[in-house]
Amino acid sequence: MTRTAIVTGAARGIGAATARRLAADGYAVAVVDLDESSCAATVADITAAGGRAIAVGADVSDSCAVTAAVAHVETELGAPTILVNNAGILRDNLLFKMTEDDWDAVMSVHLRGAFLMSRAVQAHQVTAGWGRIVNLSSTSALGNRGQANYSAAKAGLQGLTKTLAIELGRYGVTANAIAPGFIVTDMTRATAARIGVEFDDFVEHATKEIPVQRAGDPEDIAAAASFFCSEGAGFVSGQVLYVAGGPRA
């Protein structure tokens, strides 16, 4: 039996790498992002490698859109029992400059989106008696200047993860979180632009602070997600794994 996975925010970056990795692991994958057409490249990569995938456009902060998306995945690929909540946005600013819209937008995509997707998918997981939920947190959950909204959302995802693990464990469902450190993606490029630093200089400075002396790649996070979604991770639940090239306090 081929299990079906949903990866949100999978048009590019960490989400795309995770979708490709899960497909390589043998899962059918629903590549979900706000704009369905933006998922085409990820789907093409998967199918070219012999995997099975579909593109799904959905706003994960919209309850009706989430319900429709999960139903579509069930019809096209089978009932989803693996969920990677990766969708996210940045609205960085210092607290005194941050607007209510900046705060609400980030909370809606990261936290509300993960809640809605998890609520929709858990019904299929409970029926199957097996499931995996992986939430993408961040080292910013520990606090980061200019990211009060993002840091709060990422910390909230850790609390959500632990609660899902407690509630769903009896049904054979695990829930874990990954907290990436400095990963080279479009989002980190946006951060460099926000603070007015050349991206190469931004990466070089960050690398000096990382014990393994390199920046992370989306594939590093995909590897962690692969483990959490595996059969072998069935006794690992409610955990937050910092994938940051070194220890985090």
74-89 pLDDT per residue, tens: 999 999 999 999 999 9
* Start-end of H helices in 95-138: 100-107, 113-128
Q: How far is CA 56 from CA 28, 111, 176, 228, in A?
A: 13, 20, 24, 23
Question: What pLDDT is recorded for position 244?
Answer: 97
Active site residue 242: no
Please state the rounded mean pLDDT for residues 176-201.
Answer: 92
Residue of 117, 107, 112, 116 lying closest to 153 (CA atoms): 107
Residue 66 has pLDDT above 90, yes or no: yes
> Could you tell me the fold of the domain covering 4-181+218-241?
Rossmann fold (3.40.50)
pLDDT digits (tens, 9 = 90+) for 97-107: 999 999 999 99
| pLDDT given at position 195 | 86
| Ranges for all domains in the chain classified under CATH 3.40.50.720 | 4-181+218-241
As a whole number, mean pLDDT of residues 109-114 equals 98
Return the pLDDT at 157: 98
Q: What is the pLDDT at residue 249?
A: 52
Alpha-carbon distance of 167 to 171, in angstroms, equals 9
- Mean per-residue pLDDT, 118-130: 98
Tokens of 136: 């993408």
**What gap in Å lies between CA 107 and CA 103, rounded to an integer?**
6
Task: Summarize pLDDT for 151-173 with one digit per residue, the tens.
Answer: 999 999 999 999 999 999 999 99
What is the pTM assigned to this prediction?
Answer: 0.97
Lookup: tokens for 165 = 């693990």
pLDDT of 100 = 98
- The whole-number pLDDT of residue 211 equals 96
Binned at pLDDT 50, 70 and 90, residue 1 comes out as: confident
Write down the mean pLDDT value for the chain: 97
Q: What is the pLDDT of residue 16?
A: 98
> Which pLDDT score is estimated for 87?
98
pLDDT score of 50: 98
In the numeric block, the tokens 């909370």 are attached to: 107
Cα gap 31→56, rounded to integer Å = 6
The confidence score (pLDDT) of residue 133 equals 99
What is residue 58's three-state secondary structure? coil
Residue 4 has pLDDT above 60, yes or no: yes
